[in-house]
Amino acid sequence: MSLKTQPSSSLPAARVKSPCIRDCFYDHDKDFCTGCGRTLDELSYWNDYTNQEKKEILEKCKKRLDSYENC
C-alpha cells in the first residue's frame, strides 16, 4: 500500500514573513520605516501582496536600510 501525495507544485507556498522588528520609526524625509525599511503603502498592504511581490519589497527594504545606515 502506498500513500498518495500531491505533487510539490500544488502544495501551498510558504508565506513570506513580515520584516517588522517592532522598532518602528517612520522617517518622513526618507519616506520609510527605519526599523524594517518599508514605505507606508508597503506597510499598509503587506498582507495583500503575493509572495513574489513581498520578496521584491524585501530586496528594496534591504537597499533602503543599507543606504540609511551609511548616511
Pairwise CA distance, residues 60 & 14, whole Å:
20
The dihedral sign for the CA sequence 50, 54, 22, 30: negative
Q: Has residue 70 got a pLDDT over 60? A: yes
The predicted structure's pLDDT at residue 14: 86
pTM of the model: 0.78
The predicted structure's pLDDT at residue 10: 60
pLDDT digits (tens, 9 = 90+) for 43-65: 999 999 999 999 999 999 999 99
Q: Where are the alpha helices (DSSP H) in the chain?
A: 40-44, 51-69
